[in-house]
Chains A and B, each alone.
Chain A
């Protein structure tokens, strides 16, 4: 698994994907946080990073789909899948190697935003007047949300040998799971069950964990979500044997 992980990360670095993703993410988020009117910290007037944490999921829907779209589809198209699956590696090792590589890349693109954290911390009306617990909670939430997106992306890549199809399916699924349940809940169709519908989506748990309280229900949700998609990937990947 470690060797696959290493290979994937090297391929991110050598194919420029890693740099493009990081730069686009940081530029987009940086613009929203510091430059664009209405969204930026100075106009908002609060020493928090809400802009980052509300924009990042949207940016990630694109970027993570772009990172993961090639992971299996390219190997299928070029036939190299036959090389790695005939090496002494289990299917799970291959999938986890690729999955963790995606998560690592996301972590590295989030890391530089800690500078924003530090900046805002210093900018507070009295220095350090900032909800630190909520910020760390939001970081954890963002990381878990991104991990879910990577799982979706890997799954979408496994179902097709066409990168474009994989990209679009991945974006669609990410968007659906991120916010569609929230929107459905807003219709008030099910009365008191609406909160259950909302709880099916990622956003409800993301917001919940962003408050800085790490609730075991949210953790269970995120980990089950990731497991479900990894399992789905394994099923699809092993389907070549049917």
Chain B
């Protein structure tokens, strides 16, 4: 196991930021750590990187305990903190060389830094000061810094927050590629991110884990209901749709109706429409996205 967290609790004063959470991450997993703001994602990551200690419970990274063996834990991980703090008055290469040196790469430092600069696509910007870079490039510097020493575990706290859509895309591709041969724990509050990058997801809310599963399973598990959006030309009588067997809920949005049902009711819907002479414009089965799952679980 790359990361084992057991009954981890963190108190800030009387407030419980984390309440006995337990989860494990297998080598090679890309685990999405999902939750609304203030759910305890960053706190968990800060404990795993030995920045702050837990109040109780244990956490180990690659078999090393975060309290008993913090230096060894830090050797195993690469960490990109939230908001990606950087020394803005240092040059890109200078900063990466410093990080490499701190990680004890010694003579390897220079070649590793060159490799990383190329891998994260910083070649053009390598001679600039970090303060002059755009946010996307800064994020790459942060990522390069985290991966310099080829860590077994990467911990990325909201790696795509604040980036423009193109940069988000590039960042996701980069992380996906890295995730092929590393254990990655990344936090986010954006659902699509998890769907795009991760193979497992832990959803956390108010310091407690509310879901911990493979992504497909989570989707299946929660999408026992089928959602169909039907659009008519004119407004129709909602109650008639409700009368169809299996329909549990209908929501009206203008001339669109979101029909929730136990089984597929598209056939009955179209029959109903023709019998009532309603003009049916479109009908679509909605896949239950993680977004819905998330909202259901963290409500």
A88 with B75, Cβ < 8 A, contacts A3-B101, A241-B52 known: yes
Q: Is the CB of B98 within 8 A of A7?
A: yes
A240 within 8 A of B: yes
Interface residue ranges of B218-248 to A (CB < 8 Å)? none
By beta carbon, the residue of chain A nearest B99 is: A87
CA distance A79 to B87 in the complex (A): 9
Closest Cβ–Cβ distance, residue A125 to chain B (whole Å): 51
Q: Is the CB of B85 within 8 A of A87?
A: no
A86 with B50, Cβ < 8 A, contacts A4-B102, A7-B98, A10-B94 known: yes
By beta carbon, the residue of chain B nearest A15 is: B89
Q: Is the CB of A79 within 8 A of B83?
A: yes
Q: Mark A66-110, 1 if CB is under 8 A from B, else 0.
A: 000000000000111111111111100000000000000000000
A122 within 8 A of B: no
Q: Is the CB of B81 within 8 A of A82?
A: yes
CA distance A240 to B47 in the complex (A): 12
Interface residue ranges of B58-83 to A (CB < 8 Å)? 71-72, 74-75, 77, 79, 81, 83
By beta carbon, the residue of chain B nearest A82 is: B81
List, in ascending order, chain B residues with CB within 8 A of A7's CB: 87, 90, 98
Closest Cβ–Cβ distance, residue A215 to chain B (whole Å): 40
List, in ascending order, chain B residues with CB within 8 A of A86's CB: 49-51, 74, 77, 79, 81
CA distance A53 to B285 in the complex (A): 85
By beta carbon, the residue of chain A nearest B100 is: A3
Interface residue ranges of A1-33 to B (CB < 8 Å)? 3-4, 6-7, 10-11, 14-15
A80 with B74, Cβ < 8 A, contacts A86-B79, A89-B102 known: no
Q: Which of B87, B94, B102 has the largest count of A CB atoms less than 10 A from its CB?
A: B102
Closest Cβ–Cβ distance, residue A14 to chain B (whole Å): 6
B145 within 8 A of A: yes
CA distance A118 to B77 in the complex (A): 54
A78 with B51, Cβ < 8 A, contacts A10-B94, A88-B74 known: no
Q: Is the CB of B103 within 8 A of A88?
A: yes
Closest Cβ–Cβ distance, residue B76 to chain A (whole Å): 9
Report the interface size class on chain A.
20 to 34
Q: Is the CB of B75 within 8 A of A3?
A: no
Partner of A88, one of B46, B71, B94: B71
Q: Is the CB of A80 within 8 A of B89?
A: no
B86 within 8 A of A: yes
Q: How many residues of B contact A (CB 8 A)?
A: 28
B162 within 8 A of A: no
Closest Cβ–Cβ distance, residue A42 to chain B (whole Å): 43
List, in ascending order, chain A residues with CB within 8 A of B86's CB: 80, 83
CA distance A80 to B82 in the complex (A): 11
B53 within 8 A of A: yes
List, in ascending order, chain B residues with CB within 8 A of A88's CB: 71-72, 74-75, 102-104
By beta carbon, the residue of chain B nearest A2 is: B101
Q: Is the CB of B71 within 8 A of A83?
A: no
Q: Is the CB of B89 within 8 A of A87?
A: no
CA distance A241 to B98 in the complex (A): 25
B88 within 8 A of A: yes
Closest Cβ–Cβ distance, residue B116 to chain A (whole Å): 16
Q: Is the CB of B85 within 8 A of A78?
A: yes
Partner of A84, one of B52, B72, B75, B102: B102
List, in ascending order, chain A residues with CB within 8 A of B89's CB: 11, 14-15
CA distance A241 to B87 in the complex (A): 23
List, in ascending order, chain A residues with CB within 8 A of B72's CB: 88
Return 29 A-B CB contacts under 8 Å, by A number.
Answer: A3-B98, A6-B101, A7-B90, A10-B94, A14-B89, A14-B90, A15-B89, A78-B85, A79-B81, A79-B85, A80-B87, A82-B46, A82-B85, A83-B79, A83-B85, A84-B102, A86-B50, A86-B77, A86-B81, A87-B102, A88-B71, A88-B72, A88-B75, A88-B102, A88-B103, A89-B71, A89-B102, A90-B71, A240-B51
Given A7-B98, A83-B145, 5 other A-B residues pairs in contact with their CB atoms under 8 A: A10-B94, A86-B49, A87-B74, A88-B75, A88-B104
| A-B interface, 7 closest residue pairs, ranked by CB to CB distance from nearest | A79-B85, A3-B101, A86-B49, A88-B74, A80-B85, A87-B102, A82-B81
Chain A residues in the interface with B (C-beta under 8 A): 3-4, 6-7, 10-11, 14-15, 78-90, 240-241
